[in-house]
Amino acid sequence: MSIRSDFRHTLLASYMGYIVQAVVNNFVPLLFVTFQTDYHISLNQLSLLVFINFGVQLVVDIFAARFVDRIGYRFSVVTAHVFSAAGLLLLAILPNICAIPYVGVLIAVIVYAIGGGLLEVLISPIVEAAPTENKSAHMSLLHSFYCWGHMGVVLLSTLFFLFAGVDHWSTLAVLWALLPIANGIYFCFVPIRTLQESTHESMPLRKLFRLSDFWVLILLMLCAGAAEQAMSQWASAFAEAGLSVSKTVGDLAGPCLFAAMMGLSRLVYSLFSKRINLRAFMLFSCGLSISGYLLASLCKIPIIALCGCALCGFACGIMWPGTYSIAADRCPGGGTALFALLALAGDLGCSSGPALVGFATGATDGRLQSGMLIALLFPLVMGIVLLLHKRRKKSTRLKMQET
């Protein structure tokens, strides 16, 4: 198959793009305890790193809604990979040459966060615009690769730390940088369609803002990002410090288990999407997420608390791609701007959720399990919004039938 004309290459490059984003978002959290020990970085400073990572992605989302369509998908997505690679390379170098190591880590996070923000804005609409059938299944499968990437980051990093030692983490950062370099080159050649080419329509931002469905989608994305990352970003530290297990066991039993269950959820939906009601599955997932956070926060038995972490992973799997699929259905003319604004809301949730857990943990004398309890608010709000929106749609249909 020709790389320049076959959209299977586009899908493959997009899958790899989400793996790159998984590296960007989940490599540094594996080093939280190491940074605390080696660089004396406090818990609040680590929380700030997470907040800044997704905060920068949020700012990128804002500007991307305006400039991506003008400069083109291909240039933007290649640039995203350049920033992702540069940030990982700087992470390997700057903390050891800066007078204040935290500043070096912070600069690296900001650089790769620019790449992560662009990837979040671009990859989903690139797949949505590709000439494929059953878009919601493809969207769920696409987002499952973020989970497999997350698992790969944890498993390969854990193996590296086991054999080479965690002191050589900077070497691993350089090795991870090779992935965005290779995929950026791949994206230079694959065929890419825009959403405007796919739908032949584009809704102005002011019209988008006037849609009540748009603001419902924004709130859903905010809750989805917060519910997912509140557990994901702290899973390693939660298992390692909160449950008193080794780093190797903590990384495997925490973020790796979380990512595996989240990927499984997205894979299940992609395989059986024609038989599963998306909204019902999302409502079920909200309830499951609340149960998972309760288990992780309140249970004193480590293995059951880890099961709570796994439940959260499975529950959060459909929240983000499911909201994208609802958005594509409810706002078909939203174009790149819609996906950029949804990514903005998701990144706002991704930054505020883990930060809230971190600050709540600090307020409870470092008890991470207590800090986790507050995160169940996000799936709770998401479930309420889904229920109210469903009832509003039914009421609207009844009124239309009466008239």
pLDDT digits (tens, 9 = 90+) for 266-291: 998 888 888 888 889 999 999 999 99
Query: What Cα–Cα distance (Å) separates residue 336 from each residue in 52, 95, 323, 367, 390?
Result: 24, 36, 15, 42, 26
Q: What pLDDT was estimated at residue 314?
A: 93
* Contact of 369 with 305, CB cutoff 8 Å: yes
Q: Give the Å distances, CA to CA, from 112 to 54, 63, 136, 244, 349.
A: 10, 16, 29, 31, 19
- B/e letters for 82-94, b = 16+ CB within 10 Å, e = fewer, are bbbbbbbbbbbeb
Residue 362 token pair: 């600090």
Domain ranges across the chain: 7-394
Q: What is the pLDDT of residue 135?
A: 77
Nearest of 7, 158, 187 to residue 84 by alpha carbon: 187
CATH code, 7-394: 1.20.1250.20
Q: Give me 49's structure tokens.
A: 């790193």
**pLDDT band with cut points at 50, 70 and 90 for residue 399:** very low
From residue 278, give the alpha-carbon distance in Å to each of 22, 197, 379, 386.
24, 27, 16, 11
203-221 tens-digit pLDDT: 677 788 888 888 999 999 9
Q: What is the tens place of the pLDDT at every residue in 143-197?
A: 899 889 988 888 899 889 889 988 899 999 999 999 999 999 999 999 998 876 6
- In this predicted structure, the answer to whether residue 9 has a pLDDT above a threshold of 80 is yes
Please write the tens of the pLDDT for every residue from 45-76.
887 888 788 788 888 888 887 788 788 899 99
Confidence of residue 139 (pLDDT cuts 50, 70, 90): confident
Residue 354 and residue 51 in contact, taking contact as beta carbons nearer than 8 Å: yes
What is the structure's pLDDT at 1? 59
pLDDT, position 85? 97
What confidence category does residue 403 fall into, taking pLDDT thresholds of 50, 70 and 90?
very low
Q: How far apart are CA 202 and CA 182, in angstroms?
A: 33
Q: Give pTM, 2 decimals.
A: 0.80
